[in-house]
Structure 1
Amino acid sequence: MEWLYLTVVLLAGNTWPASCSQHVPFLLWSNEGSLWNSVSEPHEGHVTTDSLLRVFLDTALKNGPRNVLLFLQEKLSIEDFTAYGGVYGNKQDNAFPNLENALETSPSTLVLPSVDWYAVSTLPTYLKEKLGASPLHVDPSTLQELKLNKSIPSLLVVNLPYGASSVLMTTKEVMRGNDEVLGQVLNTMKSEDISYIALLTTMRPSRVARDVSFEVDRVGRQLLHTSVTYAPLVFNGSAGPCIMLWAKNISVYFGDKWQELTNETFSSSSPIGKETFCDSENISLVLHYGNASGSPVTLKFFLRNREYVASGQKWFSLHEVQMMNSTDTLSFNVSHISAPTIYSYHCGFVSSSPHFGGQLLGNRNKSTEKWEIVLEDFQIQAFNVTGMSFNYASDCAAFFSPAIWMGLVTTFLLVFILTYGMHMVMSLKTMDRFDDPKGPSISVPLTE
């Protein structure tokens, strides 16, 4: 672990101050050699973007084995390696002995300490397209039962927890348990004599650093509320990414209680269904949730792309949202959710509830009359997704909001009072005589 520890410390020291809350570590290794010798590693402090990460992966998948192990930890940061790893050979205090051994003994290794998590969010879909194999979620026990064929590509996904998800175990103990799972999987591959490429990463950091310049202003807000930021949900069509969706909170009212689906939507195991498709004019995004209020729930978003002669450009619009369970379906007609295709669309609330604007209008029946859906801080972009970040947003809020109207009215009243006061002051006239008419007149004696 010594060389890994020193590499991580040196690179993290240069990388961490620069918007580290959006960067995650990415470790690659393979039991076949010379996979990344022809590719120059990024320099210290460099953030690996989506395009650069795909260069590394393309090189490995082209020249290396077609069996890929993807270890996706719930949360992970560079600091975890320095906090829970053995320093300078202290094996008793090391939570990553199997990872250390794999990196030290593998002929091909690559450590990327700072990768844009937007690049990681599309990793399962990207590997599925490259390998032509669907992701198979496994654990060490089921892996031993599998009989992998060396000539057939495979994508095995191993999900690993983090300390925050365990009450009785410390974070370090959970990390050590994850390392044992990693060791068991690698030993199984070794016993089967199967060549592989292994990747260890996460979709969100375990430690989010605050921006020092804003810390004083935000400290009071942080004491009252702690928010978790997720990477956008992205679907790749045949020609690349075609839709990107994000929301601070996704909740549905179903089965007489509210159910939050935010974490399931943006977690590593994507809920995007096989029915999802996109072309140049239509998109159907299907999200499956296994258990919401005791029953499976499916959300469907239908979008169109149309050219309007009056504006001289194409606009995309979300024209229908469907919410369904195993027996019933409720369709919501959408009003005023559209934007030019060169922009994204953003709105503080998109909901079927009148308390949050009521932009989703549903034809309800007796079984669905209480169904509701709320999307908070909703942002979507379709048909013109060029990268892993949203374009300029067309916001649903009108320019003359209530706050602006209050400011304009208050300003008008103050200007009116000031103008009236200045007019009164300028109309004042001074007296041309200072004699008191009621008093005795002034007599001046004449002297000869």
Structure 2
Amino acid sequence: MNLLAFVCVLAAVQGDEQVPLVAWASDGFVLSPVNAPSAGHTVSVDELESYLNRAMSTTPHNLLLFLQDKLSVDDFTMYGGVFGNKQDSVFHNLGAALRSSSSLWLPSVSSSGTASVSTLLQNQIDTAPLYMNPETLAQLRLNASVTTLLVFHLPNSGGLDISAKEVLSGNDEVIGQVLSIMKAQSVPYTAVFTALRPSRVIEASPAVHSVGSRSLLQSRRGEPPAPYAPVEFKEKGSTCILLWAEKMVVSQFQSGKWERHDLTSQTFGEGVMPDLTGSSCNETHSRLVLNYVDVLNFRSFKFIFVMNQRHYKVSARRWFTMDVVQLEYDGKKASFNASRHIYAPAEYSYRCESVSSSRYPQFSPHSSKDNANEWHISFDDFQIQGFNVAGKDFSYANDCAGFFTPGIWMGLVTSLLMVLVLAYGLQMIMQLHTMDRFDDPKGPAISVPQTE
């Protein structure tokens, strides 16, 4: 492979963040030379667009974008690098590509620039992006003469621990799979690997310090305190299900009124370890079971989420759905169907500001005879992921927020009323006609008899 790489290195610049960015071309194509900026210079969005336009002017217009949520230049140096021949490097596939190419190092690229990479690439080829994964790509037959922009979302890189190394190694395997598929189909390409923000931020020291004062182990400026951790279920040592909610409430209709119980403190929070006995997960099926005691006077109470992953031919990708939400209490069951509302791409998580079985219900009883009619369940700021979990962080969220917000609806209705008023006025004007007959001025005058 003849490759030219862009590696945009992080700089500790106060008020801005930088992340690495790497670009290369497939075998037989060479990126146009680009002069490196001066040391310490941060590449802005406009400058990045200029660099990409010049470098990719002679490369294929089949573009691959590997977009990670968090990445720092320290991740390259800490886990083996990409240009060396270290056997323990987690960037094996990426390094194999870059070591065989000439390279140009850029000092830094602002996070706003890397966040706009998808738009910049889309503007170059004037083609909408296709969000893919290696499994979906393997089922497609690409045409070298057809311009495409394929976007691959990679999981987050964690902190300074072994899980971060495993995540980065897994991301490198994804890159290797995609490059192998492109090579097998003989489709030339130009690839970009970058992230939205750095995984580590080095805070610049303040210019003025108060005399005799010091601050140790403080949080990053302007960053809110971290919320409590999500419920995490592990299978064979690796996390496969994550659940989080700001508030979790169940209500049952008893003795002519609704009895309410808040499960939040029993499920989430520092030091809280919910009983997940009965939970399970595999590649196509996930089942999360939350076991409680003494809920609404029931000795045994279970909250069960059942999720399944399937391949849909229409979208040519895999999606997961929450098929059943079930309550089990003292030998009885109440089942809700959620598959029509709670779903997301298999590599994503699902998030919604409010999920409930009452107002605008996402959970509906399976039948009119089901015990679910006696129950109400609700979540605030609900998020769940049952497949493709990397580390302890949720993947990109498929949000339930609709496209047409109340403000948009108000604007549309107001515009429609104005159009109707204008159309009615035009119609009235078009119906006006001039007189076709007039009085003859030479004829006798009209006499009006007068009576006294």
Query: TM-score of the superposition, structure 1-length normalised?
Result: 0.47
Query: TM-score of the superposition, structure 2-length normalised?
Result: 0.47
Higher helix fraction: Structure 1 or Structure 2?
1
